[in-house]
Amino acid sequence: SQKIEQNSEALNIQEGKTATLTCNYTNYSPAYLQWYRQDPGRGPVFLLLIRENEKEKRKERLKVTFDTTLKQSLFHITASQPADSATYLCALALNSGYALNFGKGTSLLVTP
């Protein structure tokens, strides 16, 4: 069956460091992968989309890599700030190509 796995443990890092979150998947051949941020009591917010023919994508302090051989995406936040504390969700398209299958998310806590 199709599975998406994200770091199960919460990630605690110090302000200013780089946070790296992992998303591994099995039984998928995704055309693209998305990352979302979710704060408590709110819906997910879209951050980045990376396509299968893109190795890396950047947006401000965010960087995503996509390795279709390893079946893995890495999500980096450089120069992390306490405001980056949230849950980060990895998502792949379901068979329909439209709806998304989400991982459980990784909770990130950035301390001053």
Partner 1 sequence: GAGVSQSPRYKVAKRGQDVALRCDPISGHVSLFWYQQALGQGPEFLTYFQNEAQLDKSGLPSDRFFAERPEGSVSTLKIQRTQQEDSAVYLCASSPAGAAAEQYFGPGTRLTVT
Residues found near partner 1 in the complex (CB under 8 A): 4, 31-32, 34, 41-46, 49, 51, 89, 91, 93-94, 96-105
User: Least distance to partner 1 from the beta carbon of 32, Å?
Assistant: 5
| Identity of the residue, 29 or 112, whose beta carbon is nearer to partner 1 in the bound complex | 29
**DSSP line for 7-71:** --S-EEEETTSPEEEEEEEES---SEEEEEEE-TTS--EEEEEEETT-SEEEETTEEEEEETTTT
User: Least distance to partner 1 from the beta carbon of 102, Å?
Assistant: 3
User: Least distance to partner 1 from the beta carbon of 14, Å?
Assistant: 25
| Identity of the residue, 13 or 100, whose beta carbon is nearer to partner 1 in the bound complex | 100
| Separation in Å, CA 65 to CA 14, 30, 41, 43 | 23, 14, 28, 24
Supply angle C-alpha 33, 36, 42, rounded to 5.
150
| Identity of the residue, 17 or 89, whose beta carbon is nearer to partner 1 in the bound complex | 89
User: Least distance to partner 1 from the beta carbon of 72, Å?
Assistant: 17
